[in-house]
């Protein structure tokens, strides 16, 4: 099954780099949003397998969007991982109050981003058999 991940960040370059990393390294489909409000709209409509959400964004920040997603019956079961440059102990404590699958610190390594996401979500790595099957069917697995 091809994973679909919603990537939310107000920085165009981070969206570009992370999208390329997740699509090229993991073979996932990446949906994008540039704000918390847009993330909620896309998540409701597209029902991604997971959401990677920036913390600091203008308008609705990541933590506020996470709370709104959790309060919505359509999106409450979508696991969310925060992407953040805020790594102070107080920030970490605040993040622990949120229903998160994990936190990834920026800057992240694009080559290991998919592996980190898989680990946090408990998604298994594709096997050689998975890759061979994907090659025969034209779909990527992850």
Q: For the chain, which residues score pLDDT lower than 50?
A: 139-141
Cα dihedral 106→110→113→114 (10° resolution)? 160
Which residue range forms the structural domain that includes residue 38? Answer: 4-137
Q: Could you give the number of structural domains in the chain?
A: 1
Identify whether 142 is part of a domain.
Answer: no
Residue 42 has what pLDDT? 98
DSSP codes joined into one string, 13-59: HHHHHHHHHIIIII--EEEEESSHHHHHHHHHHH--SEEEEES--SS
CATH number of the domain within which 117 lies = 3.40.50.2300
Identify whether 117 is part of a domain.
Answer: yes
Residue 141 has what pLDDT? 42
- Whole-Å CA distances, 100 to 17, 62, 64, 104, 126: 23, 11, 12, 11, 24
User: Look-up: residue for tokens 């920036």?
Assistant: 54
pLDDT digits (tens, 9 = 90+) for 10-26: 999 999 999 999 999 99
Residue 140 has what pLDDT? 46
């Amino acid at each position: 099954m091809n994973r679909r991940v919603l990537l939310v960040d107000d920085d165009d370059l981070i969206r570009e780099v992370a999208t390329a990393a997740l699509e090229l390294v993991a073979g996932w489909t990446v949906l994008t949003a540039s704000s918390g409000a847009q993330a909620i709209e896309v998540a409701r409509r597209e029902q991604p397998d997971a959401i990677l959400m920036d913390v600091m964004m203008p308008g609705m920040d990541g933590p506020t969007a996470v709370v709104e997603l959790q309060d919505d019956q359509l999106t409450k079961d979508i696991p969310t991982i925060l992407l953040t440059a805020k790594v102070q102990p107080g920030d970490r404590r605040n993040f622990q109050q949120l229903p998160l699958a994990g936190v990834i610190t920026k800057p992240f390594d694009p080559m290991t981003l998919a592996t980190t996401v898989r680990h946090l979500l408990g998604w298994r790595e594709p096997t050689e058999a998975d890759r061979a099957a994907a090659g025969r069917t034209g779909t990527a697995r992850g």
